[in-house]
Amino acid sequence: MHKLWARFGHLVQEIGKFGVVGGIAFVVDFAIYAFCLQGLGMETLTAKAIAASIAATLAFFGNRFWTWRHRERSGLAREYGLYFFFNLVGIGVALGTLALTHYGLGSIWPVFQTEAADYISAQFLGTALGTLVRFWSYRTFVFVAAAPASTPPPVPAESTERD
């Protein structure tokens, strides 16, 4: 068990931190969305765009400075841009999952076009797949691992040749 933890412990910690950051971002998104709708009387898409942008920015900083704080920094603007790009990719995965189940499978089996099936597909399956894509892409492309330390070239042995 110790060998497994030594090998995968850092990954388990990253997944846990990523989950905490995502959970906090979800609560912030929900609260800001509700406030914009009910407190400010905003239109629903505008309210959601504002809430999602703020929550995603909060999640970016949580992931940058907590989840992957041990990783090299490659520039805030680069990381932020890639973060939002891969966030959109994750949303696309979730929407694609919903489209596949609702329109693809739903055209064969109408049970996949019900509200319950859409909810399960969008909120559980789509979100889970989108989150896996986000975690992998953030870890691989946004918050890059430190380059392995280069070893100096070997020192040549003393020459045994005679002049």
Q: pLDDT digit string (tens) for 28-64?
A: 988 998 899 899 998 877 888 888 889 989 999 999 9
Which residue ranges make up each domain of the chain?
Answer: 1-70, 74-146
* pTM of the complete model: 0.71
Question: Is pLDDT above 80 for 132?
Answer: yes
Check residues 141 and 123 and name the one with the higher pLDDT: 141
Q: pLDDT digit string (tens) for 52-110?
A: 889 989 999 999 999 988 888 888 899 999 999 998 998 888 888 888 998 999 899 99
- Rounded CA separation 18/68 (Å): 9
- Cα–Cα nearest to 131, from 119, 123, 120, 143: 123
- Per-residue confidence (pLDDT) for residue 154, from 0 to 100: 61
- Per-residue confidence (pLDDT) for residue 7, from 0 to 100: 76
Question: Is pLDDT above 80 for 14?
Answer: yes
